[in-house]
Structure 1
Amino acid sequence: MPDAQKEVKISVRNLVEFIMRSGDLDNTRGGKIDTEAMQAGSRIHRKIQKQMGANYTAEVPLSITVPITYEDVLFDLTVEGRADGIILNEVKDRVDSDKISDEYEELPEITIDEIKGVYMDLHILKEPVAVHRAQAMCYAYMYAVKNGHEKIGIRLTYCNLETENVKYFEEVLSLQDLAEWFEELINEYAKWAVWQMKWVVKRDEQIKKLDFPFAYRKGQKELVTGVYKTILRKKKLFIEAPTGVGKTISTVFPAVKAMGMGIATRIFYLTAKTITRTVAEETFRLLAQKGLNMKVTTITAKEKICILAKPDCNPVSCERAKGHYDRINDAVYDMLTSENEISRDSILYYAEKHKVCPFEMSLDLSLWSDAIICDYNYVFDPNVYLRRFFAADKKEDYVFLIDEAHNLVDRAREMYSAVLYKDDFLEVKKFIKELSPKLAKLLDNCNKELLKLRRECDEFEVWEEISSFYFSLLRLMTEFETFLQENDINEGREEILKLYMDIRHFMNIYELLDDNYRIYTDYDESDKFRIKLQCMDPSKNLSGCYEKGRSAILFSATLLPIRYYMDQLGGTDEDYAVYAPSSFSKENRLVMVGADVSTKYTRRNEREYRKIIKYIKEFTDAKTGNYMVFFPSYQMMQAVADLAKEELEGLVIQDSNMTEGEREAFLENFVENPKESRIGFCVMGGIFSEGIDLKYSRLIGAVIVGTGLPMVCNERELFRNYFDEKKGKGFDYAYLYQGMNKVLQSAGRVIRTNEDRGAILLLDERFLSPQYYQLFPGEWFPFEIVNLNNIRNTIKSFWDKS
């Protein structure tokens, strides 16, 4: 085994949380709702540490390296971390034994302090949490060994984050007892460490032999090289790559090679939609067929992988939850030593075999995986990000491959925003008023604060500050946590827990408020009053996430203008941007713009709709085949469809709330080599405008009705004013770029392979304005300007050449 593989490092926290967990999965009590509740409160840490005086040393790095032999493998295990505090226990006149009281005879020279910020009432805490005590014991053992102490103290300091009341748990431990405990702990971990060392050697040997699985297309080798160099240089790369360039393999392959060279330790393939997750899985599967050995885990949303109709993680509702933690490590080890592709189906199989929660199992498997395919949320969302990878301040050699990166702008803005509804406080108050009059009163206080804000909000109001409301929330949360700890809730449990989590998120986002935020109140579609902390520019928050890794590669078929996306997605002047040339022949694509039609709101009438229908008819009559027509809204799509049913044959229409089965049935209409034309009416930005892959004759044309601009609304105007002030480009940032991205994505459904041939018709005179056509991708030039009089000849001429 190479020398580089003979040392294994693990943090104190990861070690104890992995080895010492036991018992049930349980969401019925407040302390279990948020597994990180005990980890909150770095402000309190600093405050307590500053108050402790000269005998207290804060944030002390500690580590110990222990030689271990397991399965004939000799290696060094380094356990490392940072103790919150080291206390020097000075006792006056210690040298005069006659003056030392019984109280001080057992007082050790040193005590290790472990601080935890909590929201719960400290009176309910009767003993320290086991994993917290274990962390303190690890630090105590490290310190005692290093400094030759035969006995040492540990202290668990719990501090309520709202009241700042403190509760201590203290004990004195002998070095011998600590040594025996620590040896048992690391021996339990040894089998995992040895498995991983052997696996990494095998994996890297295979990666080094791996070749690119295809003949390189035009510009593809340069793209692959650029990705590798970006990872090597610890930068970010923004890739605008048209369909057919092979974005997925061109980013996955160099990331895998970087792993084989020891440059990257883990790959996160991040997606916005299930369909792109499938493409990533297929890419890793293809490389596996070429000899790649990698553990690749796909994380599926809890709602989709749960064995219950609706997730309810507690031993009463779910048989898997009872004793889950007693069985989970055996389940994970079984699957790791049996499978490389850790997919949704295989996770379900092993979770059933060991009677554990499949979702929690997938998260645990990810810890031992080389690559993780998952939604953006698991890296970027402050509520659900994978804390096991990103909670510590330590930077790791992770590579983030961010697919369909254009989606991340709006997704990130929402992740880093928070909203609360006034009615929710009143609803929860009804459920708990008999159980806790005190909590009911605090809920009512928050409601009154919102009532004050509502009185000053006719329709939409922007606020400079809301400190009075925030402090009411702060007072509420301590009592809320206590209530959840002390009560088994039946009636209204879902509503109560949701409000609790919504408030927690709101308070966390409140701590992030800066000039990248705006606070506003308004009314939703149901006329419910709400208050929102709106993230206007997510770049700072995203940059903080990138800092946890080594490199980020962001790619999409539509990242135009590239500077806008770099600006919003946390790019810097030191990062790179490339436009990958299309590998398609321009002769295979026809792009037309209708010059005598408009979808402006003032022109949306029957006359204009009938003109749109004539364009669609001329476009689809030219050749029998499958077509899609994309509209800016369901309302407009339906209005045109009602008029078109008699004129257009083979019409199928997207519904607003389609199930997975209904989506598949819709796409099954688009068969290869159809005998009759099929015309699908769809919505821009919807489920059929991204991700679907109808190759060859399954789709030969797309009509894009309108520029895709978002509806004018108060929030959108807030963005416009904000970016006018910050960038001088309010309309572009709030409306234009988002609209044109929808246009480009919809048009991208046509021509998926080098053999495809297809036509695109853009219906809106605004496309002929430089403001719009300057955002066309390079391969769309030159485009044809058409009207109802000449479109038939133009389209016929194109098809006649095929």
Structure 2
Amino acid sequence: MFIDTENKKVNITSNEMVFLALRKRDLFRKCDIALIDEATFAKTCSKNREEKEHNSYYPDVALNCTFKVSDITLTLDANSSVFTNKNNEYTIDIVKSLRYPLKFVDGKFIEDWLSEGKLSAFILSEKRKLEKVNVRISVYHTETLECIDRVFTFTYDELVLFFKESVREFSNWLLPIYKHTEKRNESTTKSHFPFEKAREGQKEISKEIFSSIKNKNNVIINAPTGLGKTIAVLYPALKAQCKNYCNKVFYLTAKNSGNASANHALDVLLNSGFDISAVVISAKNRICPQARCTPQTCTFTKDHHTKTLLAIFEIISKHKIFTAEIIKEYSQKYNICPFMLETELATFADVVICDYNYIFDPVISARLKSVLTGRDAILVDEAHNLIDRIRNIFKAEIKIDKLTELLSKVPTNSKIHNSLKSFISFVKNDVEDSALACESLSSQSLDLYEKEANLLYSDLLDYLENEREKINVEDLTDAYSIRDSLKKFVEILTSRSDDYITFYNDNTNPEVFLVNTSSFLNSISKKLGTMVFFSATLFPEEYYKYMLGTGEKDTYVSLPSPFDFTRLLVLAYPISTKFSEREQTIEEVVRAIYTAGRGKTGNYIAFFPSYQYMNLALITFQRLFPDEQVIFQKNPMTEKEKKDFLENFKPSPDTTLFAFAVLGGVFSEGIDLVGDKLSGAAVVGLGSVPPSRKSALISMYFGDLFFDGDKFAYHYPGLNKVFQAGGRVIRSDEDKGYLLIIDDRFLTPENIELLPESWHNIKKVKDNNSLFENLSDFWQKNF
């Protein structure tokens, strides 16, 4: 939906009108998640079927009409597929697809889809002056291609009556949204930057982002820690929003800590006069207690859509930021699903705060499909994480040990048993033939894989459909997991491009993944609107401009640190941290960490490239210095354990604290330990990606594209983790502390060239005595 309050105009699609005002069915999450509106393959099936019947089929016919609600002019777009038969009868074809058995499609499902079809039928009957129009609901099973049809016939008078009732229902939703948009635009136009004086760099960031959103371009912002990026990014996006240069503002985060930063920035903007609303989208397991989501197992699902309107009206009248706590409170009050409520609140919110997956994962992003308009501002926080996240989204692995385990549990000589045995044998033979060469699979192998995986997938579907009731819960869960892996593997192979690599990983499992994220991000940015990538470590420029898919019209901005460089002491201690030498040098590394913390009572944290290395250092440290206070990062950690870990960093501590953590982990980025909560950090190693078949293939891939393959595969991703960890030390104008980098390869010319500007005063120390002397001098000058 697009609202233009200046000209009193609103554009809306038929899908949005149905989603907001016309739904009748109970909530059924299995089908909700699986629903793929007008899936391409399903439309193709319908088109082929009608052409066989010698009917004329017209996909995606543009159907729209304009009407008034109060003094607002609305344009409804109800594009649909249309076919005509030899009697010249018109039929609207509403095509849907489900991953789950079609027996789940009940009358209320049909009624919702029929509403969509009737809106299209009304417009068609108006345009063509038709006395009657048919609406066919075609529902395809995405895996079996089974189809069910329901055909309905409506007279013109019936369609006119339905349309009038639909507009009346929709106006109940529209008017509160429209009134809020008017107030938002008025307040945003009048409001100024929330601080009397902007920090150095904030104005430049705001100017670039506003210009990029206005001109529908993308921008990369490389801005140092502590500059105030969150407020500097949100402020211009909201200013652009009130000018109708974008519809919604999406603030994407890689980790929960990013949500807190965005919430705080929005609070500041609200207190400075902005009348805006925002919703925080949480993962289902964080907000909903129910594992299963059916009318039989969860009372929240019953009449969910009819109760939601009342809940939303109360929430938007009393709150501005719709947090998980608020959503849980109202879901209990109105007995509605909290997971769905937060999604529906996104329709009313000006800002949507959510994880990367809600935009970039094609399955999860379906949740926000009705909210995304194609002209939104997408703000990607900590964007250095995006490349690995995209690769993980578009990755599939078939675990042979899981197939073997399933083979042992299915009936011998059954169809699924033979199919599993055949596939496992096929993989083992192919592995032997390729001699485990470190290379991607050939086109011939991929064609065979696609065929064999499809056969196994089909047989597994039959097995699950026929034997479901006989399989225990644990085995059934494993079988579904295998099914999903096979489906994803086949889907990627079917639509594969040169951006993907398929290979045998270190566990000799077949794996396919998106190695080159450039084309994907370039393509999705054109569909979504303006992409704003920002982080403190988006360098080197060449690497991120390419991998984030930016084009010639897009902008790259790099800003210096606003802080006094003399308040950060950067030291390099040349101790070998190579994997083969870690056992020999671990005591030397640990003594350096201890010596660095002796200069002043305070809180210190040491980062390691892996849990294995961290645990080796931790055991050694506790053996050598048993009286010191030590905490360490566990794998995994609950949210409470993470919170407890950070609460150990007290201001003005009476005793010294040594913390051990992992590079690239939750404590190496996105946390603010301001003042003397953190007085120093040590980074052990270059953080380089460990050697593997996968990383070797990434190196070869980018080498073939005339880049430095080793830098793209190993060096740049590793250094980024080092830069992020080092950025924990100075977070404000008042902070001071040291950064100790322990590695004998760090001071090479190519690494020095890549250092942040604030690290250019780096000093080399040769032993623990010179380390202690440098730190003693530093603390004397800064106390």
TM > 0.5: yes
Match in the other structure for 1:9: 11
User: In the alignment, residue 173 of structure 1 is paired with which amino acid?
Assistant: F
- Unaligned stretches of 5+ in structure 2? none
Q: Distance in 2 between matches of 1:678 and 1:118?
A: 55
The residue that corresponds to 1:67 in the other structure is 68
Whether 2:114 is the aligned partner of 1:115: answer: no
Conserved 8 A contact 1:446-1:469: no
Q: Is residue 132 of structure 1 aligned with residue 90 of structure 2?
A: no
Asked if the contact 2:282–2:354 (Cα under 8 Å) also holds between the matched residues in 1, the reply is yes
Matched residue of 2:199: which SS?
A: coil
* Other-structure match for 2:379: 401
Q: Is the 8 A contact 1:382 1:416 kept in 2?
A: no
How far is the alpha carbon of 1:119 from its aligned partner? 6.1
- Structure 1 residues 59, 733: CA separation in 2 closer, same or farther (over 3 Å shift)? same
Match of 2:617 among 620, 636, 640: 640
Paired position in structure 1 for 2:176: 195
**Mapped contact 1:44–1:117 kept (Cα < 8 A):** no
Shift of 1:33: 5.5
| Structure 2 residue 496 is matched with structure 1 residue 513 | yes
CA–CA distance in structure 1, aligned partners of residues 36 and 698 of structure 2: 33
Question: Which residue identity is paired with 1:283?
Answer: A
What's the counterpart of residue 590 of structure 2? 613
The separation in 1 between residues aligned to 2:309 and 2:39, in whole angstroms, is 23
Query: What is the one-letter code of the residue matched to 2:20?
Result: F
Q: 1:24 to 1:507 in 2, by over 3 A?
A: farther
Contact 1:321/1:357 (8 A) holds in 2: yes
Q: Does the 8 A contact of 1:40 with 1:118 survive in 2?
A: no
User: How far apart are residue 746 of structure 1 and its match?
Assistant: 0.8
Q: Secondary structure at the match of 2:542?
A: helix
Q: CA deviation at 1:408?
A: 0.5
Match of 1:365 among 336, 342, 345: 345
Q: What amino acid is aligned across from residue 360 of structure 1 in structure 2?
A: M
Secondary structure at 1:612 match in 2: helix
Percentage of matched positions with identical amino acids: 29
Distance 2:228 2:620 in 1: 40
**Counterpart-to-counterpart distance in 1, 2:38 and 2:742:** 56
Within-5 A mapping of 1:215-234 = 215-234=197-216
Alignment of 1:203-352 (within 5 A): 203-214=184-195, 215-308=197-290, 311-352=291-332
SS of the residue aligned with 1:790? helix
Q: How far off is 1:452 after superposition? A: 4.9
Deviations 1:352-373 (A, max 9, x none): 1111111111111112211000
Shift of 1:201: 0.4
Mark the CA change 1:357 to 1:55 in structure 2 (over 3 Å): closer, same or farther. Answer: closer
- Quote how far apart the aligned CAs of 1:208 are: 0.8
Instruction: Select which of 148, 156, 163 maps to 1:182.
Output: 163
SS of the counterpart of 1:673? coil
Listed one character per residue, the Cα deviations across residues 84-135 of structure 1 (whole Å, up to 9, x for unaligned) are: 1231x334xxxxxxxxxxxxxxxx6323233345667879979883333332
Most deviating of 744-753 and 672-681? 672-681
How many Å apart are 1:433 and its aligned residue? 6.4
Q: Distance in 1 between matches of 2:171 and 2:687?
A: 57
Superposition deviation, residue 266 in structure 1: 0.3
The one-letter amino acid paired with 1:382 is P
CA contact (8 A) 2:35 2:97 kept: no
Contact persistence 1:275–1:692 (CA under 8 A): yes
Structure 1 residue 578, shift from structure 2 partner: 1.0
Task: Kindly indicate whether residue 379 of structure 2 is the aligned counterpart of residue 413 of structure 1.
Answer: no
SS at match of 1:463: coil
Structure 2 Cα separation of the partners of residues 482 and 639 of structure 1: 49
Please list the CA deviations of residues 718-738 of structure 1 after superposition, one character each: whole Å capped at 9, or x if unmatched: 212212222331110111011
Is 2:599 aligned against 1:622?
yes
Tell me, in whole angstroms, the C-alpha distance in 1 between the residues paired with 2:509 and 2:92: 46
Is contact 1:231–1:255 with CA below 8 Å preserved after alignment? Answer: yes
Q: Which residue of 2 aligns with 1:374?
A: 354
- State the distance in 2 between where 1:729 and 1:668 align: 42
Distance in 1, Cα, partners of 2:707 & 2:643:
44
Give the direction of change, closer, same or farther, for the CA distance of 1:661–1:178 in structure 2 (3 Å limit): same
Q: Is the 8 A contact 2:94 2:113 kept in 1?
A: yes
Could you tell me how far 1:523 is from its partner in structure 2? 5.6
Q: CA deviation at 1:677?
A: 1.4
- Corresponding residue for residue 683 of structure 1: 662
Segment of structure 1 superposing worse, 572-581 or 447-456: 447-456
Compute the TM-score of the two structures, normalised by the length of structure 1: 0.89
> Which stretch has the larger CA shift, 373-382 or 711-720?
711-720
**Alignment RMSD, CA only?**
3.0
- Tell me how far apart the structure 1 counterparts of residues 415 and 306 of structure 2 sit (CA, whole Å): 38
TM-aligned CA distance change 1:226 to 1:369, over 3 Å: same
1:312 CA drift (Å): 1.7
Q: Secondary structure at the match of 1:548?
A: helix
- SS of residue matched to 1:56: strand
Q: What is the deviation of 1:13?
A: 1.9
Report the CA distance between 1:164 and its aligned residue.
Answer: 5.9
Aligned length: 768
The letter for the 1-side match of 2:63 is L
Match of 1:544 among 523, 545, 561: 523
Question: How far off its partner does 1:521 sit?
Answer: 2.7
Taking a change above 3 Å as real, the CA distance of residues 209 and 386 of structure 1, as seen in their structure-2 partners, is farther
Matched residues in 1 for 2:298 and 2:115: separation?
Answer: 29
- 1:141 matched to 2:122? The reply is yes
Distance 1:523 1:801, change over 3 A: closer
Q: Which digits, 9 at most, give the CA deviation of each residue in 1:210-246, with x for residues without a partner?
A: 1111111122212211111111121111111111111
Q: Residue 82 of structure 1 is aligned with which of 76, 79, 84? A: 79
Contact kept? 2:27, 2:305, Cα under 8 Å? yes
Structure 1: 5+ residue stretches without partners? 92-107
Check conservation: 2:62, 2:79, Cα contact below 8 A: yes
Encode CA deviations 1:392-419: one digit per residue, 9 max, x unaligned.
9xx6220011100000010111111222
Match of 2:608 in 1: 631
CA deviations over 1:305-363 (Å, ceiling 9, x no partner): 1124xx22123332223333342333233323332110011001111111111111111
Supply the AA of the counterpart residue of 1:314.
Answer: T
- The answer to whether structure 1 residue 470 and structure 2 residue 450 are counterparts is yes
| Equivalence for 1:24 | 26
Q: Distance in 2 between matches of 1:619 and 1:691?
A: 24
Confirm or deny: 8 A CA contact 1:637 1:682 kept in the other structure: yes
For residue 797 of structure 1, report the CA deviation from its aligned partner: 1.7
Distance 1:432 1:639, change over 3 A: closer
Cα deviation for residue 146 of structure 1 reads 1.4
CA distance in 1, matches of 2:506, 2:112: 44
- Which whole-Å CA distance do the structure 2 matches of 1:169 and 1:480 have between them? 29
1:453 shift after superposition = 4.1
The letter for the 2-side match of 1:545 is I
Q: Give, in whole Å, the separation in 2 of the partners of 1:672 and 1:391.
A: 43
Alignment CA distance shift 1:452-1:180 (3 Å) = farther
TM superposition shift of 1:588: 0.8
What is the DSSP-based 3-state SS (H/G/I as helix, E as strand, rest coil) of the residue aligned with 2:691?
coil
The residue type equivalent to 2:316 in the other structure is L
SS of residue matched to 1:85: strand
CA distance, structure 1, for counterparts of residue 316 and residue 452 of structure 2: 48
Counterpart secondary structure, 2:528: coil
Partner of 2:580: 602
Counterpart residue type for residue 422 of structure 1? I
| AA of the residue aligned to 2:35 | T
* TM-aligned CA deviation for residue 449 of structure 1: 4.8
Deviation at 1:534, TM superposition (A): 1.3
* Aligned with residue 715 of structure 2, among 718, 733, 736: 736
Which amino acid is 1:84 matched to? S
TM score, norm. by length of structure 2? 0.91
Task: Return the letter of the residue paired with 2:61.
Answer: V
Q: 1:102 maps to which residue?
A: none
Q: Distance in 2 between matches of 1:405 and 1:124?
A: 40
Separation in structure 1 between the aligned mates of residue 461 and residue 371 of structure 2, nearest angstrom: 22
The question of whether the paired residues in 1 share the 8 Å contact of 2:36 and 2:97 is answered with: no
Whole-Å separation in 2 of the counterparts to 1:284 and 1:647: 47
Superposition deviation, residue 791 in structure 1: 2.2
Over residues 18-63 of structure 1, what are the superposed CA-to-partner deviations in whole Å (9 max), with x where a residue is unaligned? Answer: 33333433356xx566122763525546655766757433321001
Out of 134, 137, 153, the residue aligned to residue 172 of structure 1 is: 153
